[in-house]
């Protein structure tokens, strides 16, 4: 191309026309290549799930460190050790990355929701429906995780460089609306085989189970929103015999493995779920989550994550047992104590079966176990209620609210 | 192509009408000698005034013009280091005239002809800007491994740092008149014989994270260099447009002087030695009153004397029409680290031919193969020097039953002895640089010159980590990266000289430059290696990657130089420039320049004036110019909104890049003005060149953080301004100039003040604690301070340990206040030359991260004091977060070059069949006077990086070198 510029007379006379100055980026596709083509939209739908998967550690470890579920290693960066102590700066990874990565997932979901429908003829109805469904679902899941970590958050962030913030109630309503949209789309047109075999996360089989995940998220966020009847209904809709998970491979590694085994920053505490350990050592759930290793940590002895010990370890979106706990809590609130008790008993007595999930495998129901929801891996905030707003948001966005107080007032 | 031929046919009759023809010509010959020693002067440029007829003298000082138009002519002879000689001669048609010229040594260099930044060969007296020239002899006398290192201490306004003591040059960074960019590179533009050459220092595999162990200028053989011209800022470099913010270094290689074939063999042998030991913790007990322990100082095991062998064989010759220079070179260096080596083999052919009286063609071709063996160092956890600092000195790294124990420091740390013995990081460069130039002078007034240059290389870099050596790479890892780099430049310039009246001369230049650059990098790597094999194919888990970058820069310029009475010169130029890096709306930029020069001493009244009584010559100059800077290859496509790969379920997906595209991206733009004076004293036996410059870079490029809830993180934008103001002083003096002894002294002084004038983003930290902050010099150290009491003294706790302040402040500045050098050269008789160069850097700070990491792991001399309880227990741990402790005064004075050359008497040389033999004993970096506590204050972990200056972190120290060399001419 530029070789055309050889021949000096030619170069001197026609150099302006002959030498192309508009060079496209040969390494990365341009926005136009992706957002306006069938293949681009399909790759973007794969990327949506990649992005969510790559950030699945980010909503686990900040809460895990702050609640003493997890501990920092001796070699961890100072910011991880500080997070374990509950003291945070707004530049720390524990504060920055959950926000950044989940809003990136939301950006991709928004890209898809804004551009995929105009390619309906090219994509075909069943592929398009799958793409739209998971766009709603992953956006809802990302916002749902964020609202458990930050007190207020923006919900309309597409093409707005300084989005406004809404409170948790509004955010929850928005998350539930997104889940409703996902379910409506899924029910209206079932995702077809192209979607299921080439787009939906899952190698070689299994992976993301769309309908069950939508129901599970509805149960989780209806409960959080206080609609106990809806939460119990949704929990009941989730199949107990299906595991919905994000698969990983050597090309897209399990981020918890990378954080814990590769970078060696965060590991579960030896005293994890102390109640389980001290009250009933027969409870199979601790062995499911934790491999005893007696590693000296920054503040306490640490063990290894049993479920994330390889680059290819999958991370579940939820465990079926969580649905039973949600149901139990919802029924309790609704006054149905026997129903709640039955749900809890089935958690405690769960034993055997092919599903790779926590199984307490205890013979007799034990009331002291009521406060040990081992199915909820992380997310209880003990040393502080909320994360700070990241500096990367605060500085360019004047709508960022004041940081939440460090006081341990009611978190919810 | 057909259209070019047609155009030529149209042009030829018109041009031929004014061409010089051979009839009515005579021959002019003569000899140029040194006025004091009466020795012949080779390589002097002899020219017939008012024409384009010029040649250079042969080794015996003789010159010949076979066809000079009959008539009365003025002939000039010039040579760097001498005053111009001018004599008149009458040449009769068909006859031979003889004219001998004697050159007198002079310190004033107003008549030196330069090219760089001037559009056409121009005497320095015409230029309004300062320009520095260094001749090839100075380069070889330095005994440096690379050309850029050879310039250390030779130029005012240049901070030249060897970043490490690795073999093959160690990586050199050059700052001309301070830093002019934040992340788009501050290295000057390098041009070799009109070819823009790549000076990249990417290491492509992880040999110390962010260091550069070698920059590609190292591929150039210093023995091939004839002279170097350096222009230091926009005022001089405006004609180079958007690539010239950091100045331009143009290197000219030897062209071959007329005469019979002349063979020259240049050979040298050097030994390199660790200049300074680092203090280690060798306290014989684990603590005071504790148990006895064995401690190791691994410096005794990992360092060894290094060796360098360097040979260049060249032949040159030709006649008045043809000149050739052919050289072959081979060098081999093993550094003070045993598995660290560099060898270079190359050949160069330079050929010039006068095809017609009006057309000269010059060809240059250089092929070089550079092979290096490196190992990781610096902050890299697998580094050799790092390894001995990151482990208690009680730990034995020695192999047990042939197995090297692993580092106790952690999964990613390596045993340094294992690394030296079993790891490999080879680099192989095959590089071809070629140029073709045609100079067409249809009349004595018009010159058309066209240059095509090509610089291409393939750099293959490997890294092999054996199985079971590193816990984090237990199955081993093999990496192979191939970088293919090509630059093609096309430059054309037309120059027309016109005498408007007997007082006014005009020179008009019109030109264009087109540069195309492509860089492809293919990476392959694999884990889970088979034993006994090092290639990527030995691995079971492969990965591959490629990145391709292309740039096009196109520029046009017009320049008008007006001469008034041959003493007042005004030059104005406009450069119109575009780069593919920028969006169409901001792509085309205009870079003007205006300069003036007034040779006051040529005025008749000057000699009688008060100034004339003191000064033998005086020139005043001033220049104003604009130039630009483009983003580096890493940000070449920042104007686009791109999507990047994101894999899920082994399927390739895509997501938006978190860097938002900026279609309005503009080049960094520099405005520079400079004023100065060149003064001659004692009949030009002493000179003072003084320059004050003021540079302002606007539209600095940096990433602006974006609201992260938008799904983006940053955008590459023009975000600030930065100024550099400074003084340059170059003093040259010929103290003695007798037949028996000549003593010359050169002194340089440079002072620069850098300041980030405005910054529209929050302060930003690079590297460890180098900071970009409005109102501060670029890269100041910003970190935690000591807590101090009301008197300002450091506060200690009850146990005598320092207390943290928990507040950060600017605690140092890596930019030196001033640089200086003194070079003395003494010629005794015809046989002995002695030279000493001392240079120094003053007022700059160095962050001693090496000492800090010794504090972390208790391996330093201070840890011995703590173990002996001379320092209280916990003292080192207490000061660890206090970066103020580790910012040290990096001022130094170096005995950079010492050499003694003995020129054998001619009969003696003839006895062994040679025409001349020079024997030299030389030393380089022999001694450093400094308060700095590490190996050497003149190193940088971050190599050529711009903001991250003055970081010392387990970097291979620069050795002390002794050299014996011989130059034999046949």
Q: Which residues of chain A have pLDDT under 70?
A: 1-18, 204, 272-281, 364-383, 406-412
pLDDT of B557 above 60: yes
pLDDT of B17 above 80: no
pLDDT at B23: 55
Q: What is the mean pLDDT of residues B918-930?
A: 96
Q: Which of B438, B492, B661 sits opposite A11 (nearest CB)?
A: B492
Contact A12 B512 (CB under 8 A): yes
In chain B, pLDDT over 90 holds for what percent of residues? 75
| End-to-end Cα, chain A, rounded Å | 63
**In terms of DSSP bridges, do strands B259-273 and B916-930 run parallel, antiparallel, or are they unpaired?**
unpaired
Q: Name the DSSP letter for residue B709.
A: G
- Which of B647, B709, B806 to mutate to test binding with chain A, by most A CBs within 10 Å of its CB? B709
Interface of B with A in 6-25 (CB under 8 A): 7-8
Q: Which of B410, B541, B552 sits opposite A20 (nearest CB)?
A: B552
Query: Is A262 touching B (CB cutoff 8 A)?
Result: yes
Q: What is the mean pLDDT of residues B31-60?
A: 86
- Using a 10 angstrom Cβ sphere, with 0-12 exposed, 13-18 middle and 19 or more buried, the burial of residue B88 is exposed
**In angstroms, what separates the C-alpha of A262 from chain B's closest C-alpha?**
8
Separation between Cα atoms, residue B345 and residue B329, nearest integer Å: 6
pLDDT at B905: 87
pLDDT at A407: 59
Q: pLDDT for B898-914, tens place per residue?
A: 999 999 988 899 998 89
pLDDT at A377: 41
pLDDT at A6: 44
Separation between Cα atoms, residue B149 and residue B161, nearest integer Å: 8
Residues in contact with B798: Cβ distance below 8 Å, sequence separation at least 6, in sequence order: none
| Average pLDDT in chain B | 92
pLDDT at B739: 86
Q: pLDDT for B608-646, tens place per residue?
A: 999 999 999 999 999 999 999 999 888 999 999 999 999
pLDDT of B883 above 70: yes
Residue A121: CB atoms within 10 A of its CB come to 9
Interface of B with A in 728-747 (CB under 8 A): none
Separation between Cα atoms, residue B666 and residue B638, nearest integer Å: 11
**In angstroms, what separates the C-alpha of A8 from chain B's closest C-alpha?**
7
Q: Which of B7, B438, B514 sits opposite A5 (nearest CB)?
A: B514
Q: Among all chains, which residue has been given the structure tokens 């208790």?
A: B858
Separation between Cα atoms, residue B871 and residue B880, nearest integer Å: 14
What ipTM is given for this predicted complex? 0.90
Is-contact B947 B184, C-beta < 8 A?
no
pLDDT of B957 above 50: yes
pLDDT at A411: 56
Residues of A within 8 A of B549 (CB-CB) are 27
Q: Which of B364, B453, B115 is nearest to A8 (CA)?
A: B453
Q: pLDDT for B654-691, tens place per residue?
A: 999 999 999 999 999 999 999 999 999 998 999 999 99
Q: Which of B450, B579, B640 sits opposite A30 (nearest CB)?
A: B640
Interface of A with B in 17-36 (CB under 8 A): 19-31, 33-34
pLDDT of B216 above 50: yes
Q: Name the DSSP letter for residue B536.
A: G
The gap from C-alpha A378 to its chain's centroid, in whole angstroms, comes to 12
Is the model more confident about B584 or about A103? Answer: A103
Angle formed at CA A312 by CA A307 and CA A318, multiple of 5 degrees = 50
Q: What is the mean pLDDT of residues B572-596?
A: 93
pLDDT at A376: 45
Supply B185's token pair. Answer: 């590179």
pLDDT at B522: 97
CB hemisphere CA count around B259 (13 angstroms): 20
Q: Among all chains, which residue has been given the structure tokens 């042969």?
A: B58
Q: pLDDT for B687-730, tens place per residue?
A: 999 999 999 999 999 999 999 999 999 999 999 999 999 999 99
Is-contact B598 B578, C-beta < 8 A?
no
Beta bridge partners of B832: B828, B902
Is the model more confident about A83 or about B292? Answer: B292
Interface of B with A in 617-676 (CB under 8 A): 637, 640-658, 661
- Using a 10 angstrom Cβ sphere, with 0-12 exposed, 13-18 middle and 19 or more buried, the burial of residue B276 is middle
Query: Is B716 touching A (CB cutoff 8 A)?
Result: no
Q: pLDDT for B464-479, tens place per residue?
A: 999 999 888 889 999 9
pLDDT at B211: 67
pLDDT at A215: 98
Query: Is B395 touching A (CB cutoff 8 A)?
Result: no
Contact A11 B710 (CB under 8 A): no
């Amino acid at each position: 191309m530029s070789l055309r510029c050889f021949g000096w007379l030619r170069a001197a006379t026609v150099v302006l026309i002959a030498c192309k100055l508009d060079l496209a980026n040969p390494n990365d596709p341009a926005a136009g290549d992706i957002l306006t083509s069938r293949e681009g939209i399909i790759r973007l739908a794969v990327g949506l799930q990649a992005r969510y998967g790559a950030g699945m550690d980010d909503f686990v470890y900040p809460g895990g460190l702050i609640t003493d579920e997890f501990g920092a290693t001796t070699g961890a960066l100072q910011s991880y050790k500080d997070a374990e102590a509950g003291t945070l700066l707004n530049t720390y990874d524990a504060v920055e990355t959950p926000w950044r990565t989940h809003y990136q997932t939301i950006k991709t979901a928004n890209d898809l929701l804004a551009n995929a429908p105009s390619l309906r003829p090219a994509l075909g109805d069943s592929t398009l429906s799958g793409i739209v469904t998971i766009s709603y679902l992953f956006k809802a899941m990302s916002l749902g995780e964020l609202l458990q970590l930050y007190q207020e958050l923006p919900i309309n962030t597409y093409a707005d460089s300084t989005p406004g913030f809404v409170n948790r109630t509004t955010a929850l309503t928005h998350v539930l609306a997104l889940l409703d949209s996902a379910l409506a789309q899924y029910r209206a047109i079932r995702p077809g085989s192209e979607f299921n075999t080439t787009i939906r996360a899952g190698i070689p089989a299994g992976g993301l189970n769309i309908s069950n995940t939508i129901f599970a998220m509805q149960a989780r966020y209806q409960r959080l929103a206080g609609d106990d009847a809806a939460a119990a209904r949704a929990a009941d809709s989730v199949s107990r015999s299906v595991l919905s998970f994000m698969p990983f491979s050597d090309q897209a590694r399990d981020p918890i493995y990378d954080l814990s085994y590769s970078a060696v920053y965060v590991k579960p505490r030896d005293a994890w779920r102390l109640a389980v350990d001290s009250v009933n050592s027969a409870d199979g759930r601790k062995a499911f989550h934790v491999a005893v290793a007696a590693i000296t940590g920054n503040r306490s002895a640490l063990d290894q994550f049993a479920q994330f010990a390889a680059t290819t370890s999958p991370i579940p979106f939820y465990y079926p047992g969580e649905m039973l706990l949600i149901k139990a809590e919802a029924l309790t609130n609704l006054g149905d104590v026997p129903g709640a008790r039955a749900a809890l008993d089935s958690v405690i007595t769960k034993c055997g079966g092919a599903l790779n999930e926590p199984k307490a495998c205890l013979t007799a129901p034990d009331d002291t176990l009521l406060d040990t929801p081992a199915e909820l891996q992380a997310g209880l905030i003990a040393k502080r209620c909320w994360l700070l707003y990241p500096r990367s948001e605060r500085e360019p966005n004047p709508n960022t609210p004041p940081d939440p107080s460090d006081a341990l007032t009611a978190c919810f | 192509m057909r259209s070019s031929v047609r155009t030529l046919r149209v042009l030829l009759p018109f041009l031929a009408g004014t061409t010089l023809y051979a009839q009515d010509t005579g021959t002019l010959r003569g000899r140029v000698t040194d006025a004091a020693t009466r020795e012949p002067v080779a390589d002097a440029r002899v020219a017939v005034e008012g024409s384009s007829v010029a040649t250079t003298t042969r080794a015996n000082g003789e010159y010949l013009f076979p066809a000079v138009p009959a008539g009365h002519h003025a002939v000039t002879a010039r040579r760097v280091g001498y005053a111009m000689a001018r004599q008149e001669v009458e040449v009769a048609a068909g006859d031979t005239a003889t004219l001998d010229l004697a050159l007198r040594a002079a310190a004033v260099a107003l008549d030196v002809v330069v090219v760089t930044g001037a559009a056409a060969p121009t005497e320095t007296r015409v230029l309004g800007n300062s320009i520095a020239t260094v001749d090839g002899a100075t380069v070889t006398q330095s005994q440096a491994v690379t050309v850029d290192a050879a310039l250390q201490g030779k130029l005012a306004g240049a901070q030249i740092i060897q970043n490490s003591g690795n073999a093959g040059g160690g990586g050199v960074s050059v700052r001309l008149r301070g830093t002019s960019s934040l992340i788009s590179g501050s290295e000057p533009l390098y041009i070799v014989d009109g070819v823009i050459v790549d000076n990249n220092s990417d290491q492509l595999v992880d040999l110390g994270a962010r260091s550069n162990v070698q920059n590609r200028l190292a591929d150039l053989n210093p023995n091939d260099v004839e002279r170097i011209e350096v222009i230091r800022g926009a005022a001089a470099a405006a004609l180079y447009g958007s690539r010239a913010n950091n100045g331009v270094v143009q290197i000219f290689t030897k062209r071959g002087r007329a005469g019979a074939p002349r063979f020259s063999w240049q050979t040298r042998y050097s030994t390199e030695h660790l200049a300074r030991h680092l203090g280690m913790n060798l306290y014989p007990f684990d603590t005071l009153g504790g148990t006895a322990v064995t401690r190791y100082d691994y410096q005794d095991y990992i360092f060894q004397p290094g060796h360098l062998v360097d040979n260049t064989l060249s032949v040159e010759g030709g006649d008045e029409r043809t000149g050739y220079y052919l050289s072959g070179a081979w060098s081999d260096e093993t550094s003070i680290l045993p598995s660290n080596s560099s060898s270079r083999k190359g050949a160069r052919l330079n050929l010039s031919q006068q095809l017609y009286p009006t057309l000269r063609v010059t060809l240059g071709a250089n092929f070089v193969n550079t092979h290096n063996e490196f190992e990781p160092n610096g902050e890299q956890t697998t580094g050799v020097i790092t390894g001995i600092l990151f482990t208690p000195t009680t730990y034995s790294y020695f192999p047990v039953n042939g197995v090297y124990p692993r580092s106790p420091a952690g999964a990613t740390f390596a045993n340094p002895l294992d690394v030296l013995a079993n790891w490999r990081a080879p680099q192989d460069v095959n590089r071809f640089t070629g140029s073709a130039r045609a100079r067409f002078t249809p009349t004595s007034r018009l010159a058309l010159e066209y240059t095509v240059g090509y610089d291409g290389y393939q750099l293959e870099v490997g890294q092999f980590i054996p199985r079971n050596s590193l816990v984090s790479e237990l199955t081993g890892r093999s990496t192979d990266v191939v970088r293919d780099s090509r630059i093609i430049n096309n430059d054309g310039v037309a120059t027309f000289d016109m005498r408007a009246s007997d007082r006014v001369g005009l020179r008009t230049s019109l030109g264009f430059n087109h540069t195309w650059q492509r860089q492809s990098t293919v990476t392959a790597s694999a884990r889970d290696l088979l034993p006994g094999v090092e290639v990527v194919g030995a691995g079971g888990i492969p990965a591959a990657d490629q990145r391709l970058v292309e740039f096009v820069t196109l520029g046009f310029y017009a320049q008008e130089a007006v001469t008034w009475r041959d003493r007042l010169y005004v030059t104005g130029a406009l450069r119109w420039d575009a780069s593919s890096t920028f969006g169409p709306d901001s792509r085309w930029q205009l870079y003007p320049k205006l300069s003036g020069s007034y040779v006051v001493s040529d005025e008749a009244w000057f000699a009688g004036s008060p100034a004339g009584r003191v000064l033998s010559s005086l020139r005043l100059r001033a220049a104003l110019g604009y130039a630009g800077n483009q983003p580096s290859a890493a940000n070449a496509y920042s104007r686009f909104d791109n999507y990047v790969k994101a894999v899920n379920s082994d399927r390739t997906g895509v997501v938006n890049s978190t860097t938002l595209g900026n279609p309005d991206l503009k080049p960094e733009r520099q405005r520079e003005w400079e004023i100065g004076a060149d003064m001659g004293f004692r009949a030009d036996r002493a000179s003072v060149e003084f320059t004050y410059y003021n540079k302002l870079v606007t539209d600095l490029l940096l990433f602006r953080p974006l609201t992260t809830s938008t799904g983006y993180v940053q955008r590459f934008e023009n975000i600030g301004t930065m100024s550099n103001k400074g003084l340059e002083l170059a003093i040259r003096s010929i103290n003695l100039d007798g037949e028996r002894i000549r003593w010359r002294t050169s002194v340089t002084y440079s002072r620069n003040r850098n300041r980030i004038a405005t910054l529209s983003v929050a302060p930003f930290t690079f590297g460890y604690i180098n900071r970009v902050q409005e109102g501060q010099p670029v890269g100041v150290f910003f970190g935690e301070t000591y807590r101090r009491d009301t008197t300002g003294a450091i506060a200690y706790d009850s146990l005598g340990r320092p207390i943290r302040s928990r507040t950060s402040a600017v605690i140092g500045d890596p930019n030196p206040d001033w640089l200086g050098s003194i070079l003395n050269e003494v010629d005794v008789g015809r046989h002995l030359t002695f030279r000493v160069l001392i240079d120094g850097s003053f007022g700059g700070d160095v962050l001693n991260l090496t000492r800090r990491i010794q504090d972390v792991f208790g391996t330093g001399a201070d840890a011995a004091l703590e173990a002996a309880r001379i320092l209280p227990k916990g003292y080192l741990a207490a000061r660890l977060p206090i970066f103020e402790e580790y910012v040290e005064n990096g001022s130094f004075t170096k005995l950079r070059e010492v050499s003694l050359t003995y020129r054998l008497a001619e009969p003696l040389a003839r006895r062994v069949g040679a025409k001349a033999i020079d024997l030299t004993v030389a030393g380089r970096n022999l001694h450093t006077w400094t308060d700095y506590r590490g190996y050497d204050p003149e190193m940088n972990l971050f190599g050529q990086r711009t903001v991250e200056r003055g970081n010392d972190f387990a970097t291979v120290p620069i050795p002390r070198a002794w050299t014996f060399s011989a130059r034999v001419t046949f």
